[in-house]
Each structure stands twice: as C-alpha cells, then as structure tokens.
Chain A
Amino acid sequence: MNNGIDWRRSLTGFAGLMGPPLGWFLLFFAVPMAVVWAYSFGTNVGISDIEISGTFANYARALEPLYLGILGKSLAFAALATLICLVIGFPVALAISFAPPRLKTWLLIGVMLPFWTNLLIRTYALIALLRDEGLINHGLELAFGWAGFEPLRMMHTNFAVMVGLVYVHLPFTVLPLYAALDRLDRSLLEASLDLGAGHIRTIWNIVLPLASAGIASAILLTFIPVLGSYLAPDLLGGPDSQMIANVIERQFKRANDWPFGAALAFMLMYLTLFGIAMQSLLKRRERPE
C-alpha cells in the first residue's frame, strides 16, 4: 500500500505542511498540558508562587477518602448515566438503522440536532422544567392539586444531575450504536427469524454478540465525556452531587490551590487516557486490517 512519499524527499514541503499545525499543537496544547502535569508535583510557596518540588503530596491528598469518594461518585454517576443512555439509546439506534432511507436521514438529524446545540442552553432548558415552580411541578399541581400536592423537589438533587447527564449525552450513545447496527449482516437476522426465534431472542443471541465491539465503543464514547462533566452537576446538582470536574474548578477559581487542582485534573486525565486506550484496542478488534 502506498503510504505517501518519504518526508526526506521533500523536506520543505513536509515542513511547510506539518510545521504550523504541529507547532500550534505543541505550543498551545502539549506545553500547557505538560505545565499542569508539572504543577501536579508542585507545592504552594507564598501566595502565588508554585515550586515544582517533585512531591507526590498532591496525589496523596487526592487519594484521601473525601476526594476518593468524589472520584468514586463521579465514576458511579458516569456508569449509571452510560447504562441509562444505553438502555434508552439501543432501541432508538435499532429503529433508525432499520428505517427506510428518507426517514432514517430525518431521524439521524433529530438525534444530532441537540448534539450541536449549546450545552449551556440544553442544561438551562432542563432547569426550567425541573424547578420547584417549574413546568413539571406546575403540571402535577394542576392534576393533583386537589389532593394537597406538594411540589416535588427535583432541582439541586442527584436525580436532576442524572437527568441532565443522560439528556446531554444520549446522542453520544445513539450515534456509535447506530453505526455498529447499520453494519450488521441482515441475512443472519432473517435466518434467525425464519428458523423460528422471536425478535427478542434474535436481538439477544444474534444482534448483541455481532455488535458487541460497537456497543463497547458506544459505552466508552459516552462514559468518557460524562466522567468529565462540569455543567450538569454545577447547575442542576446540590452540594452533595459534585463531580470531579467541579472539585477541580474549585481548586482553581476559589480555593486557589493550583498544585492540588492539577493533580486532580491529571487523575481525570489518566482515567480518560485509559478509556481511550481501551477504545482503540476495541476498534482494532472490530476491523482487523
């Protein structure tokens, strides 16, 4: 296979093409990331000076029960939100991949449009529904007001955060699931149905195993962004529904403990990179080349 020309044959061409993006990437992504990494081994000296002392104290503090608990809670939130997205999203992806072409396009647009919409606006839209005096409570009061209905307290709870996480990330699950289901060999499904297996059994025994790599990739593609979520717990959650990103933000904007914040940020990075490594392994298994 032709993998392009050797870079030494056209040094100026190579430098001209690769130089600007690589330079931008190194200066404005790799260097800042490296500085955060270095800070995660630093100590506060005075009010605004940070000395890179090579200490592991920040990581040790990040592993204290309080912060480990928040990390554990973030992982649990992300796992639950991913599971709910998967349960809601799988039938949607199935229906889309078997829809007639014209309808399929519209359904895909329907899933993608919220995905393109500003995250802040989508979270705000949920606030208007979930508030004590919001639309859901208002509707419930109209229906059950005669029975002495008390408004449900939904805002600033873990429930609201979970609704927000699922609402925001559902397209992240549906699109990869759709891509996996759309590639399936239909004749295998027809064979299973012809031979007398029911729809549920066919989905369970044929579709799920065949699409397993795609499903795993949908899980990771949902899990990774949920884990780093900032806005949903910040705007919808209460004091006990803070996730790791909120704690990181606090270290930088309020507590002013940058080295510790950097260590927390890198804990999140390590988890993310682990997830990405898994994802690329899965991808390789999905399409052996």
Chain B
Amino acid sequence: MREKPGLLDYARRWPLQLWMWLVGLFLYAPLAVLVLMSFNDSRRTTQWRGFTLDWYRKVFEDAELVQALMNSLTIAALSTALSVVLGTLAALALWRFRFPGKPLVDGAFSLPIVVPEICMGVAMLIFFARVMPWPPGLPWPLSLGAIVIAHVAFSFPFVAVVVRARLGSFDRSQEEAARDLGASQWQAMWDVVIPHLRPALLAGALLAFTLSLDDFVITFFTAGPDTLTFPVKVYSMVRFSVTPKVNAISTLLLLFTIILTFIALRLQARAETEQKH
C-alpha cells in the first residue's frame, strides 16, 4: 500500500527518510564494525579473515581484565544501592516538605548532573588525596570505597529526578486515607507511597548502574594506583594498541547495555499503561 504521504507526514517523505538512514548509519556503523571485528580471525582489524571466538577466550584468560570487570560491577552494584536510597530520600523530602531554602537545595542537587566530569574528577582527586584519604590496604571490596563514594555523589541526583517525576503522579488522598485509617506517617510512606514509586525505583536503579559502569573520567581521577577498574583498564589498552580483544570486551559491554536499556524501557512502558488505568 503506497498512498501519498499526508500533509504533515514528514517521516514518510523521501528526503527525510534518506537523512534518517544516513544518520542511522553514522550512529551505528562504527558500533557494527566494532562488533563484527571482534569475531575476526586476524590481529589486523580491517580485513575479514574468518569467524573466530578466540578474542573472547583471550578476554576471559586475561586475569587483570576480569578483575577489572569484577571491580567495576561491584562498584556499580554498591553505588546503585546507595544512590537509590539517597535519591529516593531526597525526592521524598523535596516533595513532602516546605522549608526555607528549598529552591536552593533543589538547585544544588542538580549540580552534580551538570558539572563537567573533569571538574568533579579533579575535586575527587584532591578530596581523597588531601581532605579524607581513603585508608590503603583495606580488604576488597572496601578498597573500592573512594570510587563508590564518588559514583554515588553524581548518581543519586539522577535517581532523585526520576523518583520525583513519579511522585508528581501520586494521589495524595491515598496517603491521607491511610493516615485516617490509623497508619502512622512512616507506615503510610512505606505501605502506600513506596509501592507507587516502584517503577521509578527500578528505572532509577538501572540509570545509576549504567552511569557508574560508563563513567571513565571521574573514576580515572579517583582510583588509586592499586584499584583497577574496567574503563580505566580499557583506556590503557586503547591508548597503547588496537587489538580485537578490546573489540570483544566492548561487544560484551555493549550487549549488557542494550539489555539494560530494554529492561528500562519495558518498565517505563508498563508504568505508563498502569497509569492510564
């Protein structure tokens, strides 16, 4: 069925369609090549020499790389847990209370979102070098503490934004009803408000996890010489050589990101349909 596109049907006019394909190519071709070359049976990353999974085996044989990946996943998990708690508390406080200086606090909490990463990285470097040195030689995972602290500092405001958007759709009369029926303030919060927030908590958690896993600059500045994290390790590999091993590890992380993104979108879609009912 090829009818004439409607008046405002810009998405179906050929110049725009062509443009969309070109932009799509620009955004995805580099990533597609990266994935493809991770299966290439050649050290040189330009010519196709046949399919192999060798590079993936080499990734898992590289103990340092696996350790770095474990560190990063641990950091992301810890940072996510703390960020969700702090972000939710912040969102609830700003939603529930009226207090002097509220716009100031509100604005201040959005600062870590917009401050350039390099500035925050520098701040963390100085802070953990001079103000509050993280004790060296702590057992794992405590040795990752400084990085977790830095990640929470820039992640929890993102969670707060997501949770607050969800609080906007909360019907306060539900909470009042719970109070009328004898629930204490905390009970009402825990049994009525928090369940309403569940999709936002999950979305916020996924966001915090991705932010932590993706961060390079701040981790680069916060990490001591003895803590190896995944982006820092990959960075040094990228700096010194371009090998299909980097392609393989990147493909794995890419796959992980795609899965997380789709889970987040599914949750969001479900929350939206829930709201309509």
Contacts and interface: CB of A to CB of B under 8 A. Distances in A.
Interface residues of B, number: 87
Interface stretch (A53-61, A64-72, A86-94, A210-218): A86-94
Contacts of A91: 16, 19-20
A230 B11 contact: no
B108 A25 contact: yes
Contacts of B93: 14, 17-18, 21
A87 B152 CA distance: 36
A135 B32 CA distance: 12
A17 B97 contact: yes
Contacts of A190: 7-8
B257 A268 contact: no
A84 B35 CA distance: 27
Nearest to B157: A25
Interface centre among A25, A94, A225, by most chain B C-beta atoms within 10 angstroms, is A25
B76 to A, nearest CB: 12
Interface string B204-235: 00000010011011000100000000010011
B90 interface: yes
A124 B31 CA distance: 9
Nearest to B23: A92
B257 A124 contact: no
A5 B72 CA distance: 41
Interface string A1-13: 0111111001001
Interface residues of A, number: 88
B98 A5 contact: yes
A80 interface: no
B116 A269 contact: yes
B115 to A, nearest CB: 7
A77 interface: no
A216 B257 CA distance: 30
A138 B46 CA distance: 7
A146 interface: no
Contacts, number: 251
B194 interface: no
Contacts of B160: 21
B118 to A, nearest CB: 4
B27 A114 contact: yes
Given A6-B97, A114-B31, A128 B150 contact: no
A29 B157 CA distance: 11
Contacts of A31: 127, 131
Interface string B113-155: 0111111101111110011000000000000000001101110
Given A35-B126, A113-B261, A228 B216 contact: no
A268 B116 contact: yes
B242 interface: yes
A21 B34 contact: no
A208 interface: no
A30 B131 CA distance: 13
Given A31-B131, A231-B217, 12 more contacts: A6-B99, A18-B105, A20-B89, A21-B89, A32-B120, A88-B26, A91-B16, A98-B10, A120-B231, A125-B250, A134-B46, A265-B119
